[in-house]
Every structure is written in C-alpha cells, then in structure tokens.
Structure 1
Amino acid sequence: MSDNAPLWTRNFILVSSINFQLVLTFYLLVVVIVGYAVAELGATTAQAGLVSGLFIVGTLIGRLLVGKFLERFGHKTTMIVGLIGFLIFSGFYFIPLNVAALLGVRFMHGFMMGMASTVLGTIIAQILPPTRRGEGIGYYSMSSTLGTAIGPFLAIWMMLHVGYNAIFALSTFIAMCCLIVALMIQVPNLPQHPKTVETQVSVKKPSFISQFIEMKALPISIIMLLASICYSGVLSFINFYAKEIDLVETASFFFLMYAIAILISRPFTGPLMDRKGENIIMYPAFIIMAIALILLSQAHSSFMLLLCAGLLGFGYGNIQSVCQTVAVKSANIERMGFATSTFFIFLDAGLGFGPYFIGQALGYISYSQLYFYSAMAVLACIVIYFLLHGRTASKRQQASA
C-alpha cells in the first residue's frame, strides 16, 4: 500500500471522535467523584479513592472479557452494546446512592467503557493503512490527549461554578453523542477468532493467558503499571491538595497545562524515538516526572503548580506514549489488538487500584509526603525499566546502528 494512502478517512475521524468523548467523560468524572463521595455521601478518603479507581477496574475487566463478546456478536454490535451501557450508567449518577451502590455504578460504567474503547482500538488498528499505522496510532492517541486536557479542566471549573448535577448531565449528554456517532460508523469485515472445531484443527490451541495477554508486550506494560500508580495520586487527589494549599482556581488549569506539554513534545519525541530508540525518551522522562512530583510536594504558588503540570506532561505523558508504541511494535500484526489491550489493561490497573491504596496511605501521610514518595518510586522505576526492557532496547539499537 502506498505511503500516500488516505489516513483521515470518515471511519478514522468518527472512531477518533468517540474515543475523545469517552476519555473526556472519564476524566470529567474521575476528577470530581472523590470530592462528591466525601462531600455528598460521607465517604472516607480510602472509600472515595476506591470510588474513583473502581471505574478503571471495571474498564480493565471489560477489556479482558471483550474478546469473548467479539467472537459471539462481532465488532459493531459489541461496540454499540458497550456504548448503550455507558449511556445507561451515566444516568445513574443522578439517583441518590449510598457509597456501596455508587461503587457498583462506577464498576459497571467502567466495564462498558472498557468494552467500547477496546473495540474502537481494534477497529482503528485494522482500518489504518499498514504503511502509516504508526503515524495513525499517534494521531489517534491525540484524541485521548485532548480528552485528558478538556475533561479535568471542565470538571474543576464546573464543580466550582455549577455543581455536581451539571457535571453528571454533561457526561450523560456526551455518552448519548458517542452512541449516535457510533451508529454512523461503517465497520469493515474484521477477522474473527475461529469458532468451530473444524476451523481449529490445523491451528495450535492458544494458552489460556494468551487469550487475554500478549506476552511480548508484558515487560513494557509492567513499566506502565508502575508509572501509572505513581501518577494516579495526582489524577485523583490533586483537587484536595489544591484546596489544602489554597490553589483551587489554578488547579482547574492543571490538566490543561499537562496536555499542552504533551502536544508540544509529541512532534519531537516521536521522530526522535524512531531514529534513536525508546531509551533516549524514557530515561529523561522518568527523571522529569520525578522532578515534577518533588516540586509538586513543595508547591505553594500558581506558577509552581502549573510548572509541575507541564513537567508531568513532558515526563509521564511521554512515558505513556512511548510504552504504548513499544507494546504495539512488540507484537505481530495479528496480535496487535492483544498487545494494545495488554498495555491498557496494565495502565488501567495502575490508575484503578492506585487511588485506593494511596487513599489508605493518606491516613498516615500528608499530600505533600505522598507526592515526594511518589517521586522516589518513579526513580526506582528507572532501574526496573532497565532490567525489563531498557538494556534489551539498547542492544537492539546498537545492532541496527
């Protein structure tokens, strides 16, 4: 296929727009749900962390099980069912709930998002021209980046000026838009897993784990898990910390600055990785992320808070992007969907379980100490990255030089 094969097709734009809206909704809710659980439902800090993280746990389970739904119902039906469920559970936030019921809603809401978003990622990987797949995935990931910027910005602004019900109404409206757009997508005939005994006679039966996980993507996905746990303390508790240091208004721009830093760096880090390998991005990114968290632990001015946000974008934002690229490249074309799913399962696990354990720790340490200890954990990740992937990547880069 030619390098000039069209990239911005109708399907590509529609699928990317749904992904943007799903990510926007996730961040719109995850930033405020901790405060909502504490202020409106009387939850403890640990319970509120679980309320925040259980959505991502549901997403993780949805990603694990979506393959079974794809086998039985196909891509478009699975996507539509996931988005219908996503819309239904968006409406449940309007109902007065206790903490236990809200946990159930958060889990199911995340489960439906996991189903839908995984199908979207599979469709994207298949409809992109093979010669432009890396470029296309990069642009597709930008839809997530925009969601990570606009979602938290809207959430904090709306929480300050219009309240929780307005946020829930907006998330429900966005969920409805996702469903409407999905109905317009023309899903191509994508390959299905074999269903009958006859079709499986000549095919080696896959192991149980390989039905969910791409083993080649596992090392870099473990790195993503550890980095995302460190970042989850920022994602879920930055608003509480901002109140403590009297910078709530500035905090509404925190994730906007984070995303701007990613948008600035992405055109440079991508080509640099292609030429020099992933290590030249990953090692500095870990150090920058650690510096950002150390500075965040000492932040007492608007400038310092926004500087930390920008540094996190250069650090964690590029760690996430590079890890996703490495995961996808690690697998053969027929396993690309599994590699992508493996990466997001570990990312979701870090962002999902992290807030709960951090919430438990906050009973003994301050927010400032949390971010300092998180920085130390990020520095430890450098050693783990070297052992699991970095030294192998270095040898591969030297061999190709």
Structure 2
Amino acid sequence: MSATSDNFSPENPYNRDFWLGYFANLALIVGMSSLFRYADFIAYLGGGPYQLGLVTGCGMTGGLLGRFLQGRLIDRLGPRTVWLCSLFALTLFVLLHLTVQSLHSPWIFLLRIGMMISVAGAFSASLTSVSLKAPPGRTAEMVGVLGSSGFIGVAIGPVIGDWIFQGDQVTFGQIQAMFFLSGAMFAVSMLLAYLSTRGDLRTPHHEHPALWTLVRSFNPGWLLLMGMVVGGGVLMPQVFLRSFADSLEINQIRYFFLAYALTAFSVRIATRQFTDRYGVKNTVIFGMTCLVLSMIAYLPVTAYWMLPLPAVFGGAAHAFLFPAVVAGGATVFPRRYRGTGTNLMLASLDFGSLVGFPMEGAIVTWADELGWPGYPTMFTVLAVTFATTTLLYAALGRKEIGEEYGEEFDVESPAPIEPAPQCELEVDQADREATSCR
C-alpha cells in the first residue's frame, strides 16, 4: 500500500477538514484578488502595460521553476508541510513589496518571482491534498468545488481594492493598505490550512523517479498544451483588466469581477460532475469556446456597465477549464505521484502566463505605437489564437478510457504502461485502481 493511499477515505469527503481547507483557499484568493490593482502599483512607480506584463510575466518563471521541486516535495513530505511553508513565504514576499522604489531594480522582479513560487506551492499543495482524499471518480468534482472558493474570493478582493483606491490619484498610503490587507489574508489562510491538515499522516516512500521518467510513463499529452493556453487566456484579466479599464477612463473594475465570480461559481457548482460524466475533452472544448467568446465580448466595451459582458463568458470558461485540465492531467499519474502530476499541470498554466503576459503587454504597446487601438488588437489576436488551438485540439486530441472517471478522457496517445527501465515505478493495487489511461 502506498503512503499516499492512506489519505484516501471512502467516507463523505465534504467533511470538517475539507471545509477548513475551502476557507483557507478562500482567504488566499481574497488576498490575491486584492492585488488585482497591482497595475496601480506599477503605474505609481512610473510603468505602463509593457512594464506590467514584463514584471508579472517574469514573476511566473518563479511559479514555473518552483513547481518542478514542489511536486517532489509534496510527494515526499506531504501537502501539509508545503502548504504551510508556502503561505508563510507568500506573506513575507508580499509585505516586502513595500520596500520597492524603482521598476529598474531587480528587487521587484525577485519579489514577484518569490511571490509566485509561494502561490504555486500553496495552490498545488491544497489541490493535491483534496485530490488524494477524493473518492475514485470524483477528483474533478472535488477540485472544482474547492476552486469555487476562489470565485467567491475574486468577488470580494476587487471590491476591497476599489474601496482602497478611491480617488483619481494613487498614493503610497493606498499601496500600503493593499499589501497589508493581502498579507493579513495570507496569514488567515495559513491558520485555516494548519487546522485543516492537523489530522494528516504521512509516511514518505523510499524513492521518487525523475520528472521526465514519470511524464514519459504517464503522459497527459495534449492537455499540457491546453494548460498553457488556459494560463495565458483565463488568467489575463487578473493582470490587464485594470489597465484596460484605465484606457477607457473606467475607474471601477469590481463590476467585472462580481459578474465573473457569480457566473463562475454558479457554473462550477451546477456542472461539478460535468467532466466526470462527459469527459475531459468535451469539457475543455466547451470551456475554450466560452474563452473565445469572452475575448470577442471585450471589443464593444466602452463603459463600466458593459464590463460584465466579457466577464460572464470568462467566468464560465474558468469554471469549465481549470478542473478539467488540472484534474484530467493529474489523475493520469498514480496516487503516490499525484503531487508531481498536479504540479506538472499547474506548471503548464504558469508557462502559458509566462509567455502570454509579456506578449499581451507587448501587443498593446506595439499597436498603440502603430496608431492601432491597443487593447482591441490584443483581444482580437487572442480570440483568433484560442479558436485555432481549440480546433486543432478537437481534431487531433484523442480519447482514451480513464478508469478513475469511468468515462472517456483525452490524451495525445496512450501512455506506456510499463515503467521506464532505468527507474522502478512501484504502483500498488490502490494506485492501479486510481490511475487513468490504463
């Protein structure tokens, strides 16, 4: 019996520990979404859309590189240790932003990278914890329900941010309030995560194969590419919406995120078993269609009351895509390597943000320099890119039977069943029952 299988319980998974973890994730997202006014921080330091995309894009390198180590740490030490340490580090890195004085200093890049490493660790550890405790066939459902807390947080954080940044001029006092509030929410999240995982027991297994060996043996295939697309598209409003609204002389962004959160939460709860019933591929295609419609819906926006239009489609896309991509790819891996599988899929989202954010900021800047409308050009390019990717995925992504779901789910090609010769992958009976693509 593998160590991780000890975490599995056939009892009702929505117990006290789950709901403590749920509210820990809610506090984390409230803290992160209160930083959606990060664009005001960059503007206060004298930067624009290009600098915003550069700083946030470079920050994603931290999350991306950190995941390769975090997956192994989660598998060896358990989600609890990584979860708590990540939240402590996140609190520290966010508060240290108050010492930044220039965009030309590497200090802001280092802090953003450290911040995103910490966010990556907190997210992946919480998702892995839920994934390990989910009954067979309900992983995507439980990941989705946990993620619904994020939509509530996304509705709360921007409202607080708009309240902090009242007025036409950004002051250092407002910057301080934003970072202090965010740090306080991360501290609350750490306390709740501690309470949620008090009963977790973990016996580290003796060997952990190299990442490449695991990926070669348990290959998510096309889902890795779709994860990159989701990272560059679904997460785009969190970075650029404030700057887009400012270009239209709109100072209020809470209406967007309220509509976004309400839609995403409602869709996520109403369709929490959609992926398990109809398969990962169908869910991803449907979610990508919503994402394309969201990009198109930005084009007619000219006033604050029109912001909910793209928000509705964007929220629906987020609700479908995140659990389908993450859970669909992670459950290809045996339970004992679920931390690595979860981090690999989250890394694909990070890589999409790493490449996408600087490119999106550059498109806006270059279009403005050419005399074209900056943000409409960006939205058009993204819509065409996402539509093309979805058509390719629909045509080329294959379907295989996933034992955990009991439904079809897609991979590029069947993963090799035999372990790589240079490293033993000991998969016990519990692992075999929980592993997809067999």
TM-score bracket relative to the smaller structure: 0.7 to 0.9
Closer, same or farther: CA 127–37 of 1 in aligned 2, 3 Å:
same
**Aligned ranges 1:181-192 → 2 under 5 Å:** 181-184=192-195, 185-192=197-204
Closer, same or farther: CA 61–323 of 1 in aligned 2, 3 Å:
same
Between the aligned partners of 1:256 and 1:186, the Cα distance in structure 2 is: 34
Instruction: Give the TM-score normalised by structure 2.
Output: 0.78
Alignment equivalent of 1:392, drawn from 385, 388, 399 = 399
Between the aligned partners of 1:2 and 1:34, the Cα distance in structure 2 is: 42
Give the paired residue count: 385
Q: Note the alpha carbon deviations across 1:235-269, whole angstroms, 9 max, x for none.
A: 311112212223332x2221221121112222443
Between the aligned partners of 1:274 and 1:172, the Cα distance in structure 2 is: 36
Q: Note the alpha carbon deviations across 1:325-351, whole angstroms, 9 max, x for none.
A: 322343333333322211111112222
Is 2:120 aligned against 1:118? no
Closer, same or farther: CA 215–96 of 1 in aligned 2, 3 Å:
same
CA shift, 1:360, in A, is 1.9
Between the aligned partners of 1:316 and 1:136, the Cα distance in structure 2 is: 15
Instruction: Give the TM-score normalised by structure 1.
Output: 0.84
Tell me the residue number matched to 2:51.
47
Tell me the residue number matched to 2:91.
87
Tell me the residue number matched to 2:427.
none
Cα RMSD for the two superposed structures: 3.1
Alignment equivalent of 2:109, drawn from 90, 103, 106 = 103
Structure 1, unaligned stretches of length 5 or more?
Answer: 196-204
Between the aligned partners of 1:279 and 1:293, the Cα distance in structure 2 is: 21
Between the aligned partners of 2:273 and 2:83, the Cα distance in structure 1 is: 33
Query: Which residue type is aligned with residue 190 of structure 1?
Result: R
CA contact (8 A) 2:141 2:272 kept: no
**Aligned ranges 1:174-323 → 2 under 5 Å:** 174-184=185-195, 185-194=197-206, 206-210=209-213, 215-249=218-252, 251-323=253-325
Tell me the residue number matched to 1:382.
390
Helix, strand or coil for the counterpart of 1:330?
Answer: coil
Helix, strand or coil for the counterpart of 1:378?
Answer: helix
Closer, same or farther: CA 57–218 of 1 in aligned 2, 3 Å:
farther
CA contact (8 A) 1:56 1:107 kept: yes
Alignment equivalent of 2:26, drawn from 17, 20, 29 = 20
Helix, strand or coil for the counterpart of 1:217?
Answer: coil
Closer, same or farther: CA 123–276 of 1 in aligned 2, 3 Å:
closer
CA shift, 1:45, in A, is 3.0
Helix, strand or coil for the counterpart of 1:248?
Answer: coil
CA contact (8 A) 1:16 1:140 kept: yes
CA shift, 1:70, in A, is 4.5
Structure with greater helix share of residues:
1
CA contact (8 A) 1:157 1:252 kept: no
Between the aligned partners of 1:148 and 1:384, the Cα distance in structure 2 is: 31
Tell me the residue number matched to 2:421.
none
Closer, same or farther: CA 234–88 of 1 in aligned 2, 3 Å:
closer
Between the aligned partners of 1:214 and 1:343, the Cα distance in structure 2 is: 15
Tell me the residue number matched to 1:200.
none
Query: Which residue type is aligned with residue 337 of structure 2?
Result: R
Closer, same or farther: CA 2–341 of 1 in aligned 2, 3 Å:
closer
Between the aligned partners of 2:383 and 2:187, the Cα distance in structure 1 is: 39
Between the aligned partners of 1:87 and 1:259, the Cα distance in structure 2 is: 24
Between the aligned partners of 1:281 and 1:73, the Cα distance in structure 2 is: 33
* Range with bigger deviation, 302-311 or 164-173: 302-311
Q: Note the alpha carbon deviations across 1:110-145, whole angstroms, 9 max, x for none.
A: 212222332222222233444654443232121223
Q: Note the alpha carbon deviations across 1:158-186, whole angstroms, 9 max, x for none.
A: 32368222111101111221232333331
Q: Note the alpha carbon deviations across 1:164-217, whole angstroms, 9 max, x for none.
A: 22111101111221232333331522352415xxxxxxxxx8344246898422
Helix, strand or coil for the counterpart of 1:98?
Answer: coil
CA shift, 1:41, in A, is 1.5
CA shift, 1:35, in A, is 2.5
